[in-house]
Structure formats: structure tokens, C-alpha cells
Structure 1
Amino acid sequence: MREPSAGYPLFGLMAEFDRPESLIEAVKRSRDAGFRRIDAYSPFPIEELAEVLDFRDRRVAWLTLFGGLFGAAAGYGMQAWLHLDYPILVGSRPTITPQAFMLITFELTVLFAVLFSIGGMLVLNHLPKLHHPVFGVESFHLATRDKFFLIVFGHDEKFDPVQTRTFLESLDPVRVDVVRQTEEPA
């Protein structure tokens, strides 16, 4: 989910919930109310959360596939080039033997798939990011323990600070907090 840029006065409004079922219900009601730029934070994976958030970003999976294909082509191509450029003819064996090339090809497939997926994840998540606006919310540290959070971003088409706060309070959260834009520390 794309987050609001620094040009928006508010990063968003965040509601805190005690139970994962409450968070799922809040996300469903938010989507039904017309909010599209929302996100949720949970201390553990919730199976249906990605589905109700309508999360369909598959860029890391595609990067992993391309990394694997690149690694396989590089591994096989490197060995084929080496055996064609510096041939060693022994007992009328063929110069290029695919069976002998599979170990290095497999290893480089795995290596580049992992490197592309980790590198892609870091780039797409804008990491390393030492500070994030949600860290300014007093109780957000509980997102790693036992609380569940729903944020409506400030650049949502339907976002209005007063009406969105009223809507979030109607979801029966523990509390609703304003998330302000912050400057990144130098």
C-alpha cells in the first residue's frame, strides 16, 4: 500500500483493537464504507487479513522468478562459455554436457532468486527506514505484542479528519489516534 507523501498534513488516523476478529471486522466495514487506502498491523499473521485488505501486490514474487531465471541462465551460460572457449577433449566426450552443469546452475538459480527477492523487498518497502510516522503513536509498540491496528491513510479519497475519526470510533476500538507526518531524523 502506498503511503501518503510529506505533502499531506496528516499521515492518517489509527484505531487500536484488542482482538484479531475485531480488526478483520473493522477492515471489512472500512472497505464497505469506501475507504481504499488502509493498512493493518498485527503481532502475528492473520490468515484472511490480506484478502479483506485486497492486497494483490506480487512484485516480490515476480522478482524472485526473474532472479531465479537470471541465475540459471548465468550458471549454465558461464559453464557453457568456459567449455566452448577452453575445450578439454577427453575420450570423445561432448564439449557441453548438461548433466554436469546442473549443480552450478541449480546453486546460482537459488542464490539469485534469494538475492532478488530480499533486495526487491528492501527496495519496495523503502528500507532501511529508521523512523516511520506510526512510531509516533503512543501505543503502537504493542503491535508486536497483543494489539491490532487499522490505519486510514490521509491521502484516501474519502479521508476527512472529523468524519473518518467518527467512523473509526463507530467500529468500537480501544482508542483512535492521529498519526502526524514527521521529518526523518538526520
Structure 2
Amino acid sequence: MHGSWGIMAEFSTADQLLATARRVREAGYRHAEAYSPFAIEGLAEALGFERDRVPLATFLGGLSGAVLGFGLQWYSAVIDFPLNIGGRPLDSWPMFVPVTFELAVLGAALSAAVAMLWSNGLPRLRHPVFDAPDFDLASRNRFFLCLRSDEPGFDREAALRLLEASRPLRCIEVPR
């Protein structure tokens, strides 16, 4: 399929979309995409999404921020500019806690945002489904499921039959 990005089915209910997503996954499609105006419980699992790495990136970002914050304070207080104030130790860790905590939170938040954007493939200014007829309804009251033509072993006719078996409102060929 040279000029086609995929085949998309339009549904009027979330239940139809969820049932079709399960059927498509059972049929062996691994790169189906669903579009809905709101979150649908169980849709991610029906499409085969697995755990992502955002929590791990968040933890590592927080840990890095904490280590960097503590290390920077320790270096400046002990090595670079030591001040003996009232006979207190130079490496008094309790005074390093607030900045260490704040940099841990900052590092975690920044790495979570970057990991989320990266895993979602954002920012994406143009996507082929934007050119599909009436796709703007996906943000209002319609539900769409798209089978991509770059799927290994994709057969246009078989995909069309599979989607039409779910009795969608219509099936649309998405231009590339």
C-alpha cells in the first residue's frame, strides 16, 4: 500500500472500540492505534501496551538530583570554601537536607516529563490520521481504531474484513 497509512474504523461507543481492540489483538495486530475523547478502562491492555519506563526514569532523575544537590553542597562547604562557624563540623548533613530534597523533586519531575514525551513520540506536529475524514470527532464523541499498513504481514482486505465484522459506523482508508 503505497499511499495508505492504514485502515481506520469509526465507532459510536467505547464498548465497541474496546471489543474491537481485543479482537484485533487476538488476530495478531501489534501496532493498532486507538483514539478516544476520554480514557477507556482496559483499552491499553487490549491494545497490548506493556509497562513503560517512565517510573524508572523518574526514580533515576530524582536520585541524580539528590546526589547532585548533596554533592554540590558538600563540596562547597567542605572543599571549596570551608568556614568554621562556632566549631560546627564542615560536613553537617542536616543543613544539606532541604536543598537535596528540592533537587530530588526537580530532577524527578523533569525526567518524568522528558520520559513521557519521549515514550509518546512527542512533539508530533503532523500525523497521518489528522487527514482522515471526520477525525476531529475523536475529541468529541467518536471512537477510532486504526490498523497501520506498516504492520508485518498487513493485508488490506483482511484488515478491512476484520474491522467490518465489528460493525463500525464506517471504515476509512487513512492517506499517507
TM, length-normalised to structure 1: 0.87
- Residue in structure 2 matching 1:99, options 90, 94, 98: 94
Cα distance in structure 1, aligned partners of 2:159 and 2:129: 17
Cα distance in structure 1, aligned partners of 2:124 and 2:29: 26
Aligned positions of 1:2-151 closer than 5 A: 9-85=3-79, 86-151=81-146
Is 1:179–2:158 an aligned residue pair? no
- Residue in structure 2 matching 1:161, options 150, 156, 164: 156
Superposed displacement of residue 65, structure 1: 1.6
Cα distance in structure 1, aligned partners of 2:125 and 2:58: 26
Q: Cα deviation per residue 1:91-128 (whole Å; 9 max; x = unaligned)?
A: 22221122211111111111111111222333333332
Superposed displacement of residue 158, structure 1: 3.6
Runs of 4+ in 1 over 6 A off after TM superposition: none
Say how many residue pairs are matched.
Answer: 175
Write the letter of the residue equivalent to 1:49: L
Write the letter of the residue equivalent to 2:94: Q
Superposed displacement of residue 57, structure 1: 4.3
Q: Cα deviation per residue 1:24-68 (whole Å; 9 max; x = unaligned)?
A: 100111111121111211111112111111211412222212211
> Runs of 5+ in structure 2 lacking a partner?
none
Cα distance in structure 1, aligned partners of 2:56 and 2:16: 33
Superposed displacement of residue 151, structure 1: 0.9
1:11 is paired with a residue whose SS is strand
Q: Cα deviation per residue 1:142-182 (whole Å; 9 max; x = unaligned)?
A: 1111111111111222421111111111111111111121x
Task: Kindly report the root-mean-square deviation, in angstroms, between the aligned alpha carbons of the 2 structures.
Answer: 1.7
| Sequence identity (%) | 41
TM, length-normalised to structure 2: 0.91
